[in-house]
Amino acid sequence: MIERYSLPEMDEIFSDVARFSRYLEIELHALDGQSIVGTVPSAVASACRARAPKVDETFVHAVSQREAITNHDVAAFVDVVQERIGGPESAWVHHGLTSSDVVDTAWCAMLRDAAEVIDAALGELVGVLVREARNHRDTPMIGRTHGIHAEPTTFGAKVALWALQVDRDRRRMKAARFTVAVCKLSGAVGTYSNIDPRVEDHVAQAMNLRAVPSTQVVSRDRHAEFLYACASIADTVEMIADDHSST
């Protein structure tokens, strides 16, 4: 995120601290799930959770330094987590997982959270536009076609059309939120060769996500739907700004 262009709410979701916090959350939930199905000793999961490191800027810096050596972001993250947990239990961190299990699940959770922020803002905007459409239902103005004066209309009618378009954008974002709010912990090719599917279900439930079939990665059409919803919102905002400037 570029700080001067981002909202504080989005910074809280997409910052490095937030991202690594998600990674750690997934690792710990996975250990809990594996302890439930019996593939990891319950004492190990409890010890790792009790000694889990605080994810802050110091932690992020340590991962960055380690990545310069490993040349692999998730390997660097796991190394730092294991070092800070310490003891023989730390060797179980990332057990049965592949990098995309952690990265893709984390990104889906972050996009889900971002969609909720956007949805709330769109809901507020629809409310404002509906109010103004009612206030100006009888406020006359000239309509335009091809950018030039045409027949009379009202400002309320124009704003009502804006409200309808924003509401459609909101429904698209809600649908995209559902599509992207998924979890995958199924291994390197999605066959659960090193992890019990019940662990994926446990993590999905703990993070309020849905477990879905996948390969190594979550299918990117999910991300594309989210980005299309964002692009449609941007187009609507540009349209309103341009339309208002010529009113």
DSSP state of 182: E
Give the predicted TM-score (pTM) of the model: 0.94
- Are 28 and 143 in a shared domain? no
User: What's the confidence (pLDDT) of residue 244?
Assistant: 75
* Terminal CA-CA length for the chain: 34
Residue 134 sits in a domain of what CATH number? 1.20.200.10
CB atoms within 10 A of CB 96: 20
CA distances from 200 to 4, 30, 63 (A): 37, 7, 26
Structural domain of 42: 1-95
- Are 76 and 153 in a shared domain? no
- Domain closes at, from 42, 73, 95: 95
- Are 154 and 32 in a shared domain? no
- Are 151 and 208 in a shared domain? yes
Q: Which residues lie below 8 Å from residue 135, measured CB to CB, with a gap of 6+?
A: 156
Q: List the one residue out of 240, 186, 235 whose CA is nearest residue 215.
A: 186
**Helices and strands of the chain, counted as H and E runs:** 9, 4
- Are 4 and 77 in a shared domain? yes
- Are 30 and 122 in a shared domain? no
- Are 176 and 223 in a shared domain? yes
Q: Cα 124 to chain center, whole Å?
A: 21
- Are 101 and 91 in a shared domain? no
**pLDDT digits (tens), the chain, 247 positions:** 777 888 899 999 999 999 999 999 999 999 999 999 999 999 999 999 999 999 999 999 999 999 999 999 999 999 999 999 999 999 999 999 999 999 999 999 999 999 999 999 999 999 999 999 999 999 999 998 888 899 999 999 999 999 999 999 999 999 999 999 999 999 999 999 999 999 999 999 999 999 999 999 999 999 999 999 999 999 999 999 988 776 6
User: What's the confidence (pLDDT) of residue 246?
Assistant: 66
Q: Give the span between the Cα atoms of 2 and 5, in whole angstroms.
A: 6
- Are 67 and 78 in a shared domain? yes
Q: Give the span between the Cα atoms of 172 and 176, in whole angstroms.
A: 6
- Domain closes at, from 42, 60, 95: 95
User: What's the confidence (pLDDT) of residue 201?
Assistant: 98
Number of domains the chain is built from? 2
User: What's the confidence (pLDDT) of residue 2?
Assistant: 77
- Domain closes at, from 53, 68, 95: 95
Tokens at residue 195, please?
A: 């992890």
Tokens at residue 177, please?
A: 């939120």
Q: What is the CA radius of gyration of the chain?
A: 24
Q: List the one residue out of 113, 120, 45, 48 whose CA is nearest residue 86.
A: 48
Q: Assess contact for 193 and 187: CB atoms under 8 A.
A: yes
- Are 111 and 66 in a shared domain? no
